[in-house]
Amino acid sequence: MYDKMSFKALIELAAPPTWSAGLVPVFLGTALAFAFVGTINAIMLLCTLFISIALQSAVNTLNDYTDFIKGADSIDTTDDINDASLVYNNIDPKSARNAGFFMIIAALIVGIYAITQTGWMALLFACVGIAVIVVYALPAVSLSYTPWGEVASGFIMGGVLTMATYFLQTRIIDFSILLYALPCVVTIGLIMLVNNTSDIEKDQAVGRHTFPVCVGRGRATMLLRVLIFASVGLVCVIVCVIFFRGWCFLPVMCCAVFIAARPLFSNDIIPPIRRFNMQAIGSVNIRLNFSYAVCIVLSCLPVVYW
């Protein structure tokens, strides 16, 4: 017998600590819209935030559902209650699957308003988002079980979501936004990299071929550390070349990011400290990209900082 889905279990499935992967691109896309167009639509910003949180929660929920039915999450393979809500709360996996679908429907309902305000291109972005959730999280295809999970999550959440937010604010399709979003693409991909590196043994046991499983913990950890430096460097280059009047905030960003990243350079990426490493990379993502957005906004203000 399964227990009823509780609010606590639902929140654990939605995994709020990962929401930064959905929130950060929205604020970055809004900052870019402000820089290039000069206005911000507050209502559209709130709608986009809701949609991104709902879709991120759906990905997390459906991914847990897939892990459970494929045997990746069990009492024997995980001792972290926050990483296996279906196991430790004795929830019917069908309830989790239905909750994930409900989150998608909630995002679509709010998305209808965005579509009526901005046109059919918003529908295209919505279809891309839903297609990625299906391909990434559901068991029939489950991209998260392949070496491409980090690249897919980084590109879609960091790149396409930033571009979609920019479009909803400006009604302009501008593919150059994908270039401005590269730091966000990298750091969101790193969230998945840390998660999968922590779970190497568990994933190997169920035949899951993630990138860290393929290259090993040592190389995955080295890549993580290199890409943290690369993401900081990308922001510094983009700000100094394109948004140069926001340069004054870069030292603050560098200090904040490397303080947050310190555990990732001193700790191994292993299961017993998975939660702490995930908190660290989540903080890196937030601090770097919000600082980047601040630099962009500062570059638009009629003040000379040097």
pLDDT score of 177 = 95
| Residues linked to residue 83 through DSSP beta bridges, in sequence order | none
pLDDT score of 75 = 59
How far, in Å, are 79, 90, 136, 237 from residue 196 at the CA level?
16, 24, 14, 29
Q: Tens digits of per-residue pLDDT, 105-146?
A: 998 888 888 888 887 777 777 777 777 766 666 655 567 678
The mean pLDDT of the chain is: 86
**Average confidence (pLDDT) over 185-207:** 89
* CB 165 within 8 Å of CB 26: yes
Q: Is 43 inside a domain boundary?
A: yes
Q: Is 115 inside a domain boundary?
A: yes
Give me the domain span that covers residue 107: 7-300
**Core vs surface per residue 34-63: b (16+ CB within 10 A) or e:** bbbeeeebeebbebbbbbbbbbbbbbbbbb
**Average confidence (pLDDT) over 191-212:** 87
Separation CA 214–CA 10 (nearest Å): 32
Q: Is 138 inside a domain boundary?
A: yes
Q: Is 31 inside a domain boundary?
A: yes
Instruction: Name the more confident of 306 and 91.
Output: 91
Q: Is 17 inside a domain boundary?
A: yes
Q: Please give the distance of CA 220 from its chain centroid, rounded to a whole number.
A: 19
CATH at 276 = 1.10.600
| Residues linked to residue 91 through DSSP beta bridges, in sequence order | 3
pTM for this entry? 0.85
Helix or strand (DSSP H, E) at 1: none
**Average confidence (pLDDT) over 88-103:** 83
Q: Is 56 inside a domain boundary?
A: yes
pLDDT score of 97 = 86
Q: Please give the distance of CA 156 from its chain centroid, rounded to a whole number.
A: 9
How far, in Å, are 27, 167, 194, 297 from residue 176 at the CA level?
17, 12, 28, 18
Q: Is 305 inside a domain boundary?
A: no
Q: Is 2 inside a domain boundary?
A: no
pLDDT score of 301 = 79
Separation CA 26–CA 83 (nearest Å): 26
Q: Tens digits of per-residue pLDDT, 251-279?
A: 999 999 999 999 999 989 998 898 899 99
> Into how many domains does the chain fold?
1
The region of weakest confidence among 197-206, 226-235, 251-260, 287-296 is: 197-206
Longest dimension (CA), the chain: 67
**pLDDT grade for 226, boundaries at 50, 70 and 90:** very high
